[in-house]
Amino acid sequence: MTRSDLISLIRRKRSFLCIGLDSDLSKIPPHLLDDEDPVFAFNKAIVDATHELTVAIKPNFAFYESRGILGFASLEKTIRYVNDRYSGELFTIADAKRGDIGNTSEQYARAVFDITSSGMEFDAVTVAPYMGEDSVKPFLSYPGKWIIVLALTSNKGAMDFQFFSDGKRRLFEQVLIRSAAWGSPENMMFVVGATQAAMLADIRKIVPGHFLLVPGVGAQGGSLEEVGRFGLNHDCGLLVNSSRGILYSSTGKDFAEKARSEAIRMQNEMAGILASGGL
């Protein structure tokens, strides 16, 4: 999906919502556990209930890798279903946080972008830039695909390294400056946690045109209103992720209906933010 496609999707759906499919077998509704593949059944129901309210889905690989071959089967079925049923309607993100030496990153890139190799094809993948340009470049060799670089995260441990300063700039600012030169706003986004919303104004000075993937709204305490106020740009430039707040709105047979209700609530707020921004 191109940048212009993504922007058109946001404008049409009046939403910049991303649903994180952090699908935990221990938390999904008990009645699904008798299904042949409970996690896929859960994911399919969530996607079907919310697809017109959201512009992106983001499976978190840890929740699938932890279940070994069964988990990978659920993941592959999920992304195949989305790509077949909702082609062009949902931007797909592999939340894998990859990043290693070049030849290893080449294999990681094949795993998420090359359907003939892995059986899966995503639009984007999250990457960790700590090892530098040569660990990131292999992901950028796929035309039409995106990388989403970890810049400023929403967890407590973000303070351990990301705010280290050399007296001129903080480490997360250096990450933004250096990594932005490796790609462009057409194929690169940045992760910026919603609990760091006040930092978005500083981040926008460095990367005014890039999309930002913003986790941490809802269960982690981030404010959607603040994210919009500090992070919105002329193209929207935001994908705001919600995982637990939508997925586990209910553990009963009405789980998909309740997930849809929460997605509607967020989409309505996002529509207002877009309107106030002239979009």
With beta carbons less than 8 A apart as the criterion, state whether 17 and 246 touch: no
The number of residues making up the chain comes to 279
Contacts of 130 (CB under 8 A, 6+ apart): 99
For the chain, state the CA radius of gyration. 18
Active-site entry in 13, 44, 97, 145: 97
In angstroms, the Cα distances linking 250 to 22, 52, 218 are 15, 20, 15
Active site residue 77: no
Q: How far apart are CA 201 and CA 2, in angstroms?
A: 26
Q: If DSSP codes are grouped into helix, strand and coil, which group holds residue 43?
A: helix
Contact predicate 210/180, CB 8 Å: yes
Q: Tell me, what DSSP letter sits at residue 133? A: H
- Are the C-beta atoms of 135 and 105 separated by less than 8 Å? yes
Q: Smallest Cα–Cα separation from 82: which of 53, 58, 109, 62?
A: 58
Q: Catalytic site residues?
A: 97
